[in-house]
Amino acid sequence: MTLRGNENGVSAIIATILMVAVTVVLAGVLYVMIIGIGGGSNENLAPLGSWQDVDAVNTTAAKLVFGSFSSEINPIDLKLYIYEEGTNETTTLIIDVPLEGQNDNPCTIRGYRKDVITATYTDYSYSTNNINAGDFIELNGLTSGKHYRIEVYHAPSQSILSMTGDAGTFQLP
């Protein structure tokens, strides 16, 4: 058995380049698997929304005017949380009507503490069953002189929406 005189393996430079290339390919495959490129869905992402106007109407009422949303939003997909300054009371409002084809406009909104705070929702184009810019909610039965904060919860994405435009707070005279 004769041995060859020069039996060197792969050079150190080539081996290093191959190891880096394999690492980069594996990292790329893991990245694609984690973020779900190609099969991902954006339907559960929270939409962006805005307030056109949030202001007191008189000493016991306020008007919340919706601006635009980044996607079509059904009124029944939203809950409004109303926080009264200085108390532990939270009012939850759920818009469950108008439904498509229904002519109940404005409609009464159901919710927690509805015996204290009542609300109506006016939809300018209720046949589309979407919230549009200019649709508004009127709140009645609020406490004079109090400061209120509004949060909008989007049920499909299970998140509180970041509403731009007019502030989601108001002070009653």
pLDDT tens over the chain, length 173 residues: 565 656 666 688 888 999 999 999 999 888 877 776 655 555 567 788 888 888 888 988 889 888 888 877 877 788 888 888 877 777 777 765 544 445 555 565 666 565 677 777 777 666 667 788 888 888 888 888 888 888 888 888 888 888 887 788 888 88
Residue 23 lies in a domain: yes
User: CATH code at 136?
Assistant: 2.60.40.10
Q: Output the pLDDT for position 2.
A: 60
Task: Give the list of residues 6+ apart from residue 112 with CB closer than 8 angstroms, or none.
Answer: 90, 91, 92
Residue 103 lies in a domain: yes
User: How many domains are contained in the chain?
Assistant: 2
Domain that holds residue 35: 8-40
- Six-digit token pair at 84? 């009264």
Left if phi > 0, otherwise alpha if psi is -120 to 50, otherwise beta: which for 118?
A: beta
Residue 87 lies in a domain: yes
Helix or strand (DSSP H, E) at 30: helix 12-35
Are residue 107 and residue 161 in the same domain, yes or no? yes
Q: Are strands 90-94 and 110-111 parallel, antiparallel or unpaired?
A: antiparallel
Are residue 31 and residue 109 in the same domain, yes or no? no
Are residue 92 and residue 57 in the same domain, yes or no? yes
DSSP letter for each residue of 131-145 = --TT-EEEEESPPTT
> Measured between alpha carbons, how far is 75 from 67 in angstroms, rounded to an integer?
13
Residue 2 lies in a domain: no
Are residue 80 and residue 155 in the same domain, yes or no? yes
What pairs with residue 55 in β-bridges? 63
Q: Output the pLDDT for position 25.
A: 94
Are residue 55 and residue 78 in the same domain, yes or no? yes
Residue 21 main-chain phi, psi, to 5 deg: -65, -45
Are residue 33 and residue 116 in the same domain, yes or no? no
Q: Output the pLDDT for position 96.
A: 58
Are residue 65 and residue 16 in the same domain, yes or no? no
Q: Output the pLDDT for position 159.
A: 85
Are residue 64 and residue 36 in the same domain, yes or no? no
